[in-house]
Amino acid sequence: MNRSVSMLCLMLIAAAGMLFSTAAPAAAADLDIVNHGVWYAVGFPSGFPYFDVYFSDDVEPNELGITQLRGYGKWNYVTREISDGRDIYLTADGDALYARFHGQMAHDGLPQTLIQEFVGGTGIFAGARGAATHFCYLTLSSRLHGTKTCESHGTLSLAGLNSKMVPAFSTEGELLSLQLQHVEMEAFRLPPLPVLARKLTHLGEGDHVGLYTSSKFELLDLNTMYFHGFFTQTAANGDMMDGYYEGALSPLGESEDPFATDMQVWITGGTGRFANASGKQTGSGLWWSDGHEEITLEGALSSVGSSMK
């Protein structure tokens, strides 16, 4: 009897050791990223002193396999504070690392400094956490457009989540609000670039989200008809799901509207039941210049509560 109890205790201790060793957080690794790209500052109507800044960068070779960076944030031209920033790093394999950032605009030739907080992603970056300082050296082509070279230095922990993925289907497109603006404003006596910035809110419905509103910040190149942007889906109970999307428009005929659209969507995290959410969808449908859309999205999403080491 005593021998049986002793064996049981040993088994329980061993099982507990396996549990704690499995659940131990991943060690933080150094993160060093160098990127070069273009930036656009957009003054939406009634937005002063805030300007919305969009940027698109190529990333130099690195150990994480990241090749592209896309970003968006709000610049206050009076206080010089930077807020509501969102970064997405993309690998050649299609994985995404998501970050929020804030910071301060540059003074007297000093680099612009941003503080990044990594809050999730897809693939190897699902559940990733970490922080970095992001230094940017800006070159102005005009008051609202230019190039930049940046460096991020910090640490990143990969959670190694092995989440059960389940099919995800959603539709959206009923327009609730729309703001749009060319990158350059006539107030600065500069010709508008062939780039359009848009802020939109749509209604949608998904099999895991239910009824939701989707707030988007996107940039559309009117030469290539390529677009990219960030979204936040808010469910009826207030839970949120964050992500990034990109795609292209193509005309259906001689008239401008509607356009056909094909896109990819990365789901990178959220709040409530979507904390550590991860997934990817492809979408197609119709796009109108007044902001109305008819989009169907299909793919996979990590099921709620399924994340495990």
What's 103's domain CATH number? 2.40.350
Task: Show which of 157, 181, 209 is a domain's final residue.
Answer: 157
Which residue ranges of the chain lie beneath pLDDT 50? 1-24, 186-189, 305-309
Tell whether 81 and 197 lie within a shared domain.
no
pLDDT of the residue at 141: 84
Amino acid at site 153: H
Range of the domain at 135: 29-157
pLDDT of the residue at 18: 35
Cα 246 from Cα 94, distance rounded (Å):
12
b/e per residue, 11-48, with b = 16+ CB within 10 A?
eeeeeeeeeeeeeeeeeeeebebebebebbbbbbeeee
pLDDT of the residue at 218: 95
Q: How many residues does the chain have?
A: 309
pLDDT of the residue at 20: 33
Tell whether 117 and 151 lie within a shared domain.
yes
Which residues have C-beta within 8 Å of that of residue 101, sequence separation ≥ 6?
A: 71, 73, 82, 85, 86, 87, 114, 115, 116, 117, 134
pLDDT of the residue at 27: 62
Tell whether 62 and 148 lie within a shared domain.
yes
204: nearest Cα among 191, 194, 215 = 215
Measured on CA atoms in the order 4, 10, 16, 18, is the torsion positive or negative?
Answer: negative
